[in-house]
């Protein structure tokens, strides 16, 4: 028997924050990921780049791969000794055909695990203020597949469902909404029973229509609905307006594209999600240390001779200390050097390494850092600036004017990359993304590399500072800039953009 193994992992209803901790842990270790169409975009971006990806589709009336073939794919990859993750929308055992996928694995003695997912019949109503059970209204909840073959009658005992007096949740039933409502009415359900249809729950495009069993189908025809959506029938639907909470969040209903260096976990994404935004977190750039670097090696030999070390990014801090270790240096090698940082993110990375910053400009850009540094130097100092190869000259000009000796040494390259799963260009062309958030000029350039041919006037860009805004302006984006170059200020800017405060342009 091979060493391969299969994990059936539930990806939840769409919101990346509802993906389980165990699901994410297993996904991070995957060699192969077999995924379907209902997995949320935010979770798709978590798939490791090194993993082999197999799209098996599976959406109503549009199956990319038959179920029997999916089963064979899981078996084949596991027999190769791979760690295989079968990533499924919702929960693998609730109309996810997870049991069918296990039967062949069991027969072939392939080890497997189940990682349950947050399921849509509970979570989507919750995001719409509908508790599926409530002591004053019902004592049971029933989950039914609304899917049926074309031309076939429903194999559902509607009379039994009506007798339960519980909440009924129909999945995959949007196209048969009228038939479902008629079936319940014929079985004796009160025509005034509250009912709701809930579109794209837990995402920025969630929408609900609340009516009654007798009027819901007509309301859907009038207002329109998109799939995926679920149908909820029961007295608890009347609580939707009273208990609605998601739309009260300041960024509810907004989908935000956040670009970042691939190797950095974004605190910005967390801030935006807590305020209700659906965040599409994409690695627009990745950084690679310059391995053969004789200039840096030479500087490492005389580290104690520098009066100042200057860092212009969190990545610059990380790479510099990695290189110190490579060359056999530790913190004692820095001697009496003072440390300057361009902003809060860089300062934080230094403090994590036990180093407090001596100088940080009020405005977080290269020109301000260079000016502030020149003001505290008398001209005799020797300064080391380990940073990106593409670093701007604005930092150096004030130092050169004062005649200060500066070793400006590239320590890493910035490379641009596109998402394997998300067509960023199409997201903006179809209006599915409300704004892009840029935390550096390099992430703007990375975004542009990924979206060649896009009309950039369609892009509302929230920028952290002047250099970032200038980069976005150069491509004709509709730009907005934070009051301060901090993540909190940038998050506040996004809220103001949503509120339509054009004066903040």
Q: In what order do the strands lie in the sheet with 278-289?
A: 338-341, 308-311, 382-388, 405-416, 278-289, 255-261, 435-438, 460-463, 478-481
The residues near 111 (Cβ < 8 Å, ≥ 6 apart) are 4, 5, 6
Q: Is the pLDDT of residue 65 over 60?
A: yes
How far, CA to CA in Å, does 502 sit from each of 3, 257, 277, 460, 467? 59, 20, 20, 12, 21
Q: Indicate whether this model's pTM tops 0.75.
A: yes
What CA–CA distance (Å, rounded) separates 142 from 164? 9
388 backbone φψ class: left, alpha, beta (φ>0; ψ -120 to 50)? beta
User: Residue 163: its pLDDT value, please?
Assistant: 95
What CA–CA distance (Å, rounded) separates 254 from 310? 38
User: Residue 478: its pLDDT value, please?
Assistant: 95
What CA–CA distance (Å, rounded) separates 379 from 133? 73
- Say which residue, 183 or 153, is predicted with more confidence: 183
Q: What is the DSSP letter of 473?
A: H
- DSSP states along 24-66: HHHHHT-SEEEE-TTS-HHHHTTS-TTSEEEE---BTTB-SS-
User: Residue 75: its pLDDT value, please?
Assistant: 92
Q: Is the pLDDT of residue 496 over 90?
A: yes
Nearest alpha-carbon partner for 4 in 105, 153, 118 = 105
Residue 178 C-alpha from the chain's centroid: 36
Residues labelled catalytic = 36, 58
Mean pLDDT of 457-484: 93
User: Residue 467: its pLDDT value, please?
Assistant: 85
What CA–CA distance (Å, rounded) separates 117 from 10? 4
Q: Is the pLDDT of residue 468 over 70?
A: yes
How far, CA to CA in Å, does 384 sit from each of 296, 320, 332? 10, 11, 16
SS3 368: helix
Q: Is the pLDDT of residue 437 over 90?
A: yes
Q: Is the pLDDT of residue 77 over 60?
A: yes
- Say which residue, 112 or 446, is predicted with more confidence: 112
Q: In what order do the strands lie in the sheet with 83-88?
A: 52-55, 32-35, 83-88, 5-10, 112-115
User: Residue 449: its pLDDT value, please?
Assistant: 85
Mean pLDDT of 205-210: 95
- Asked whether 385 and 312 are in contact (CB, 8 A), the reply is yes
What is the second-level CATH architecture of the domain 290-415? 3-Layer(aba) Sandwich (3.40)
User: Residue 262: its pLDDT value, please?
Assistant: 60
* Dihedral sign from CA coordinates of 334, 337, 342, 344: positive
Domain locations along the chain: 5-117, 122-246, 255-287+418-504, 290-415
- Asked whether 450 and 475 are in contact (CB, 8 A), the reply is no
Q: Is the pLDDT of residue 285 over 90?
A: no
Q: Is the pLDDT of residue 26 over 60?
A: yes
SS3 364: coil
Lowest-pLDDT range, 196-205, 333-342, 420-429? 420-429
Q: Is the pLDDT of residue 88 over 50?
A: yes
Tell me which range, 257-261, 305-309, 360-364, is most confidently predicted by mean pLDDT. Answer: 305-309
Mean pLDDT of 106-133: 95
Mean pLDDT of 302-329: 91
- Asked whether 5 and 33 are in contact (CB, 8 A), the reply is no
Q: Is the pLDDT of residue 415 over 60?
A: yes
Treating both helix axes as pointing N-terminal to C-terminal, what angle do 314-326 and 344-351 enclose, rounded to 10 degrees? 30
Treating both helix axes as pointing N-terminal to C-terminal, what angle do 441-450 and 466-473 enclose, rounded to 10 degrees? 30
Q: How many residues does the chain have?
A: 505
The CATH fold of domain 5-117: Cobalt-precorrin-4 Transmethylase; domain 1 (3.40.1010)
Class of domain 122-246: alpha beta
How far, CA to CA in Å, does 327 sit from each of 106, 292, 313? 52, 12, 21
End-to-end CA distance of the chain: 63
The residues near 488 (Cβ < 8 Å, ≥ 6 apart) are 271
Mean pLDDT of 448-467: 91
Q: How confident is residue 502, by pLDDT bands cut at 50, 70 and 90?
A: very low
pLDDT tens digits, one per residue of 208-236:
999 999 999 999 999 999 989 999 999 99
Tell me which range, 1-10, 140-149, 228-237, is most confidently predicted by mean pLDDT. Answer: 228-237
Segment (H or E) for 23: helix 21-28
- DSSP states along 131-185: -S-BTTTBS-EEEEE----TTPPP---HHHHHHHTSEEEEES-GGGHHHHHHHHH
Instruction: Tell me what percent of the residues of the chain surpass a pLDDT of 90.
Output: 60
Q: How confident is residue 62, by pLDDT bands cut at 50, 70 and 90?
A: low
Mean pLDDT of 52-66: 72
- Say which residue, 286 or 46, is predicted with more confidence: 46
DSSP H helices in 54-138 = 67-79, 98-107, 120-127
Q: Is the pLDDT of residue 59 over 70?
A: no
Mean pLDDT of 401-420: 85
User: Residue 172: its pLDDT value, please?
Assistant: 85
Class of domain 255-287+418-504: alpha beta
User: Residue 226: its pLDDT value, please?
Assistant: 92
CA angle 356, 360, 362 (to 5 degrees): 145
Burial code of 221-251, b = ≥16 C-beta within 10 A, e = fewer?
A: eeeebeebbbbbbbbbbbbbeeeeebeeebb
Q: Is the pLDDT of residue 461 over 70?
A: yes
Lowest-pLDDT range, 134-143, 215-224, 260-269, 363-372? 260-269
Average pLDDT, the chain: 89
Q: How confident is residue 95, by pLDDT bands cut at 50, 70 and 90?
A: confident
User: Residue 503: its pLDDT value, please?
Assistant: 44
Mean pLDDT of 277-303: 87
- Asked whether 41 and 422 are in contact (CB, 8 A), the reply is yes
CATH topology match: 5-117 vs 122-246: no
Q: How confident is residue 52, by pLDDT bands cut at 50, 70 and 90?
A: very high
Mean pLDDT of 249-263: 85
Mean pLDDT of 131-140: 92
pLDDT tens digits, one per residue of 346-362:
999 999 999 999 999 98
Q: Is the pLDDT of residue 283 over 80?
A: no
SS3 77: helix
User: Residue 454: its pLDDT value, please?
Assistant: 92
């Amino acid at each position: 028997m091979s060493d391969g193994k299969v994990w059936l992992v539930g990806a939840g209803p769409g919101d990346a924050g509802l993906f389980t901790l165990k699901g994410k842990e297993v996904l991070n270790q995957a060699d192969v990921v077999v995924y379907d169409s209902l997995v949320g975009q935010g979770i798709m971006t978590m798939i490791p780049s090194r993993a082999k990806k197999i799209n098996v589709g599976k959406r109503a009336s549009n199956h990319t791969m038959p179920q029997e073939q999916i089963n064979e794919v899981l078996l084949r990859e596991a027999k190769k000794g791979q760690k295989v993750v079968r990533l499924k929308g919702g929960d693998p055992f609730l109309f996810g055909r997870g049991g069918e996928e296990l039967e062949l694995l069991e027969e072939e003695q392939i080890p497997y695990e189940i990682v349950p997912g947050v399921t849509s019949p509970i979570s989507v109503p919750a995001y719409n203020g509908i508790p599926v059970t409530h002591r004053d209204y019902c004592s049971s909840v029933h989950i039914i597949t609304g899917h049926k073959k074309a031309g076939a009658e429903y194999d559902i005992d509607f009379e039994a469902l009506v007798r339960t007096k519980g909440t009924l949740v129909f999945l995959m039933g949007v196209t048969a909404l009228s038939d479902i409502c008629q079936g319940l009415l014929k079985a004796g359900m009160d025509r005034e029973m509250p009912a709701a249809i809930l579109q794209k729950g837990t995402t920025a495009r969630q929408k609900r229509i609340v009516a009654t069993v007798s009027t819901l189908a007509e309301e859907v025809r009038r207002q329109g609905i998109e799939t995926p959506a679920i149908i909820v029938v029961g007295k608890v639907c009347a609580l939707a307006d009273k208990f609605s909470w998601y739309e009260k969040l300041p960024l509810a209903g907004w989908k935000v594209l956040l670009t970042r260096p691939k190797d950095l976990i974004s605190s910005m994404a967390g801030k935006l999600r807590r305020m209700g935004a659906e965040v599409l977190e994409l690695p627009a750039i990745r950084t690679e240390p310059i391995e053969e670097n004789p200039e840096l090696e030479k500087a490492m030999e005389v580290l104690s001779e520098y009066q100042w070390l200057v860092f212009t990014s969190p990545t610059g801090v990380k790479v510099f200390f990695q290189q110190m270790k490579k060359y056999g240096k530790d913190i004692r090698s820095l001697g009496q050097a003072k440390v300057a940082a361009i902003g809060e993110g860089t300062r934080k990375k230094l403090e994590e390494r036990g180093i407090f910053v001596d100088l940080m400009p009020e405005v977080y850009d290269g020109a301000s850092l260079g000016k502030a540094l020149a003001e505290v130097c008398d001209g005799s100092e020797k300064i080391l600036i380990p940073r990106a190869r593409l670093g701007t000259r604005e930092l150096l000009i004030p130092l050169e004017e004062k005649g200060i000796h500066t070793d400006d040494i590239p320590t890493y390259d910035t490379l641009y990359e596109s998402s394997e799963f998300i067509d960023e260009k199409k997201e903006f062309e179809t209006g599915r993304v409300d704004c892009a958030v840029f935390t550096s000029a390099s992430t703007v350039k990375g975004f542009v590399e990924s979206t060649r041919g896009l009309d950039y006037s369609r892009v509302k860009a929230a920028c952290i500072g002047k250099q970032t805004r200038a980069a976005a302006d150069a491509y004709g984006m509709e730009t907005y800039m934070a009051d301060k170059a901090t993540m909190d200020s940038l998050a506040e800017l996004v809220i103001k953009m949503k509120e339509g405060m054009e004066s903040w342009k």
